[in-house]
Amino acid sequence: MRVAPKMARTCIAALLFWEAVGCSTPPPSISSAVSAAGASSGPGDSSGATGTWTDGTKLSGSVTIAAGSTMTVAPGATIAIATGTTITVVGTLAARSASPTHAKLTGGGWNGIVVAGGGTLLFDGVDLVGASTALDIQKGAKAEYDDGNIDASAMPFNVEAGGILTTQRSTVTRTQGGSQVAGTFTAAHLDYNSGDNSGIMTT
């Protein structure tokens, strides 16, 4: 869905464009049918845009932060993510949420965050709950994950060859599988509870 700039009216902080504009909308929901500034299901849509996921935002389907776009998670916001949802970052996804009011991306059986080549993830104080692969850092991508908790993930993180992940003062809990590192991984004060799983494996 594409709305001409003169017709678009912003009524919520997340800068969502709706077919029926008006300010009496429910909490923002982003799916394959609705595009947010900087987050869309169509390749290249909203390039260069910026936006914010506020508390109560719901994500479903395939959500992409386009190249040249920046999406920010509001401090303390809880973002509900539907089963099977993948967040792909080709632009920048950022958050800075002071403890103890961490932001949270949570759901049951969502796929996780894929930072694609050229993409950047800058998370400080964000908890990731229930993702299959919480952080997948691909070749040519950079990610910083600080002061957060990855919980109940089948693979807390996967750093592919040519990818870069740094983390400090973070925790991993209730893991359901191991993490894999083929790229560059730097950690300081990482509390990783692997349980009966393999922990962090390098290849």
Which of 106, 163, 109 lies closest to 136, judged by CA?
Answer: 163
Q: State residue 29's pLDDT score.
A: 52
Counting residues of the chain whose pLDDT is more than 90, the rounded percentage is 69
pTM: predicted TM-score of the whole model, two decimal places? 0.79
Tens digit of each residue's pLDDT (9 = 90 or more) over 8-50: 333 323 332 223 334 344 454 554 323 344 443 333 333 457 8
Stretch 92-119: mean pLDDT, rounded? 95
Q: State residue 48's pLDDT score.
A: 55
Cα separation, 34 vs 132, in Å, equals 24
Q: Share the mean pLDDT of the chain.
A: 82
Higher pLDDT residue, 4 or 49? 49
Q: Which residues contact 108 (CB under 8 A, 6 or more apart)?
A: 83, 130
Q: Is the pLDDT of residue 183 over 70?
A: yes
Q: Is the pLDDT of residue 129 over 60?
A: yes
Helix (H) or strand (E) holding 179: strand 179-181
Cα separation, 172 vs 168, in Å, equals 12
Q: State residue 96's pLDDT score.
A: 95
